[in-house]
Amino acid sequence: MNIAQIRPMDVANGPGVRVSVFVSGCRHACPHCFNREYWDFNYGEPCTETQIQSILTLLDKPIIAGLTLLGGEPLQQNLTELASFLKRIKKESRKSIWLYTGYVYNDLHLQKEVMDVLQWVDVLVDGPYLEAEKNLRLAFRGSENQRLIDLHQTRLKGEISLLNI
Ligand code: SF4
C-alpha cells in the first residue's frame, strides 16, 4: 500500500480536526475524479513503519479527533495489510476512523476480507462521487448518493444506519 499524501490537520473529511491519509491507486475511473494522479498504485511512498509512526504521532495530539482514510480507493489496496494498519491505528490511537470508498456498502458487506478491514472503521462514506448528484451543502461528501454509514450501529442493528449530520 502506497500513501500519496498525509494531511496533518484536515477539517473537510470528517468531524473535528483529523489526520487524513490518501492512499494511492484506484480503478473506479469516475468521470469527474478530482484525484486522478492518485489512480496509479505506484504513486507516493510505501506505507512503512516510519510512516505509521509519524501518523500515530500526529494522531496523538489532543486537538486531533481521528484518522480519515481516502484516496485513491482504500478498498482496492492489499486488504490484509490495510486491516492490520487500521487495527494498529485504532488500538494505539483509540481515535475514530473514517474511510471513504467508491463502492456501495450493500455490495461489500458479504466479503470477509472487506469486513476484516471495516471492523476497525467507525464511519464509512460510501459510493462514487456523481456530478449529476452534486450538492455543496452536504456534510463531508460531494454528491447525494454518498452516505455516511455509522458502522457501529449498522453492526448492532443488522441494517444500514446513517449518521445524522
Ligand atoms: S473513487 Fe475517488 S479516487 Fe477513485 S476515480 Fe472515483 S473519485 Fe477518483
Q: Is 124 inside any structural domain?
A: yes
Q: What percent of the chain has pLDDT over 70?
A: 100
User: At 102, which amino acid appears?
Assistant: G
Cβ of 29 closer than 6 Å to ligand 1, yes or no, is yes
Cβ of 71 closer than 6 Å to ligand 1, yes or no, is yes
Please write the tens of the pLDDT for every residue from 64-77.
Answer: 999 999 999 999 99
Q: Is 163 inside any structural domain?
A: no
Cβ of 149 closer than 6 Å to ligand 1, yes or no, is no
Cβ of 23 closer than 6 Å to ligand 1, yes or no, is no
Nearest CA to ligand 1 atom 6: 30
Name residues whose C-beta falls within 8 Å of residue 62's C-beta, 6 or more positions apart in sequence: none
- What's 39's domain CATH number? 3.20.20.70
Q: Is 100 inside any structural domain?
A: yes
* Residue 131 CA to ligand 1 centre (angstroms): 12
Q: Is 115 inside any structural domain?
A: yes
- What pLDDT, on the 0 to 100 scale, is given for residue 165? 81
Q: Is 164 inside any structural domain?
A: no
Number of domains, the chain? 1
Q: Is 162 inside any structural domain?
A: no
Q: Is 165 inside any structural domain?
A: no
Report how far residue 147's alpha carbon sits from residue 19's, in angstroms, rounded to the nearest whole number.
21
Q: Which three cell numbers stand for residue 93?
A: 490511537
Please write the tens of the pLDDT for every residue from 52-103.
Answer: 999 999 999 999 999 999 999 999 999 999 999 999 999 999 999 999 999 9
* Residue 37 CA to ligand 1 centre (angstroms): 10
pTM for the model stands at 0.96
Q: Is 51 inside any structural domain?
A: yes
Report how far residue 56's alpha carbon sits from residue 123's, in angstroms, rounded to the nearest whole number.
19
For residue 21, the cross-strand partners are 6, 69
Range of the domain at 18: 2-157
